[in-house]
């Protein structure tokens, strides 16, 4: 596995060989705050523990929770989100790990964010719940490339458009999708998009679309990629990486190497 983190503009880049054997409980990335430290046994720490305990209990049943506790300067704001397809037990396990890691990787820091395959956890002393900014964003890319990047990117656009449409119309702001191959050289592609359930449908559309339309140059031609942000995320792979059957199933006719149709085929919602 190769891992090359670097900072690009306001985004945090991470190049990672994403393979199915990645351990689900592994910390993908973390960002520590710049809004000060607290001391051991302080009121801030007591409030933080209260927030983290609330989040790990309440988010594991509903998949999403936010809370604030205390008063300035000891106010703590927290948010936890599990990936829409994971089971309650997986969500709980991920958040338990996140609760520990978030404090360990940023010791005594008033703010921390941690990303995993199955969940995301964030806390801060500065209000962020009303923000729709998706920064910082983390990009993860498979080190393997597809044979026809242009065609693959068009296919991805079709898939993510349809999956996003489904996600934006759902209460959970989450959907998965699949598009089966349309030429011999091109693989079946699996996609996933998720927004915070607190975003409106149009905020979700705007956030997710900015992740793949246009596709960041870093991801172009790669067999798999992810953009993980703080309000929305997307992922695609040429293998199935989510639980359950995809919500959106696209079938594009086999075309013997000719370009894909100008107009997208209709999304077929699963029953």
Q: Which residues bind ligand NAG (CB under 6 A)?
A: 36-37, 40-41, 54, 57-58, 154, 157-158, 161, 264
The backbone torsions φ and ψ at residue 200, rounded to the nearest 5 degrees and listed phi first, read -75, 165
The backbone torsions φ and ψ at residue 76, rounded to the nearest 5 degrees and listed phi first, read -120, 130
Q: How far apart, in whole angstroms, are the C-alpha atoms of residue 152 and residue 248?
A: 18
Tell me the closest approach of the beta carbon of residue 22 to ligand NAG, in angstroms: 29
- Kindly tell me which of 238 and 252 has the beta carbon lying closer to ligand NAG: 252
Tell me the closest approach of the beta carbon of residue 106 to ligand NAG, in angstroms: 9
Q: Are 226 and 140 in contact (CB under 8 A)?
A: yes
If you ran DSSP here, which 8-state letter would residue 145 be given? B
If you ran DSSP here, which 8-state letter would residue 150 be given? H
- Kindly tell me which of 187 and 264 has the beta carbon lying closer to ligand NAG: 264
Tell me the closest approach of the beta carbon of residue 225 to ligand NAG, in angstroms: 17
Q: Which helix (H) or strand (E) holds 184?
A: none
- Kindly tell me which of 37 and 245 has the beta carbon lying closer to ligand NAG: 37
Q: How far apart, in whole angstroms, are the C-alpha atoms of residue 163 and residue 160?
A: 5
- Kindly tell me which of 55 and 138 has the beta carbon lying closer to ligand NAG: 55
- Kindly tell me which of 48 and 158 has the beta carbon lying closer to ligand NAG: 158
Tell me the closest approach of the beta carbon of residue 267 to ligand NAG, in angstroms: 10
Q: How many CB atoms lie within 10 A of CB 218?
A: 16
Tell me the closest approach of the beta carbon of residue 78 to ligand NAG, in angstroms: 11
Structure tokens at 207: 């956030």
What's the per-residue H, E or C state across 16-84? ECCCCCCCCCCCCEEEECCCCECCCCCHHHHHHHHHHHHHHHHHHHHCEEEEEECCCCCCEEEEEEECC
Nearest to 225 by CA among 6, 31, 13, 30: 13
- Kindly tell me which of 16 and 80 has the beta carbon lying closer to ligand NAG: 80
- Kindly tell me which of 157 and 203 has the beta carbon lying closer to ligand NAG: 157
Q: Are 3 and 16 in contact (CB under 8 A)?
A: yes
Indicate the residue whose CB is closest to ligand NAG.
57
Tell me the closest approach of the beta carbon of residue 27 to ligand NAG, in angstroms: 19
Q: How far apart, in whole angstroms, are the C-alpha atoms of residue 140 and residue 68?
A: 31
Tell me the closest approach of the beta carbon of residue 54 to ligand NAG, in angstroms: 4
- Kindly tell me which of 14 and 159 has the beta carbon lying closer to ligand NAG: 159
Tell me the closest approach of the beta carbon of residue 110 to ligand NAG, in angstroms: 9
């Amino acid at each position: 596995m190769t891992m090359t983190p670097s900072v690009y503009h306001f985004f945090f880049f991470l190049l990672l060989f994403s393979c199915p054997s990645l351990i689900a409980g592994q910390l993908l990335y973390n960002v520590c705050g710049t809004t000060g430290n607290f001391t051991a046994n302080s009121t801030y720490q007591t409030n933080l523990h209260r927030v983290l305990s609330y989040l790990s209990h309440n988010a594991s049943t509903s998949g999403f929770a936010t809370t604030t506790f205390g008063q300035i300067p000891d106010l703590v704001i927290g948010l936890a989100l599990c990936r829409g397809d994971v089971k309650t037990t997986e969500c709980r396990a991920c958040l338990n790990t996140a609760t520990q890691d978030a404090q360990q990787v940023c010791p005594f820091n008033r703010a921390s964010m941690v990303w995993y395959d199955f969940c995301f956890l964030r806390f801060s002393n500065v209000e962020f719940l009303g923000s729709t900014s998706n920064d910082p964003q983390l990009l993860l890319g498979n080190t393997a490339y597809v044979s026809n990047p242009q065609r693959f990117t068009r296919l991805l656009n079709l898939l993510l458009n349809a999956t996003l449409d489904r996600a934006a119309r759902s209460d959970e702001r989450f959907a998965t999708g699949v598009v089966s191959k349309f030429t011999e050289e091109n693989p079946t592609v699996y996609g996933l998009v998720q927004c915070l359930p607190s975003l409106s449908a149009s905020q979700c559309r705007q956030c997710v679309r900015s992740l793949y339309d246009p596709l960041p140059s870093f991801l172009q031609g790669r067999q798999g990629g992810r953009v993980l942000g703080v309000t929305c995320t997307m992922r695609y792979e040429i293998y199935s990486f989510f639980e359950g059957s995809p919500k959106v199933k696209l079938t594009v006719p086999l075309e013997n190497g000719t370009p894909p149709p100008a107009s997208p085929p209709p999304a077929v919602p699963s029953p």
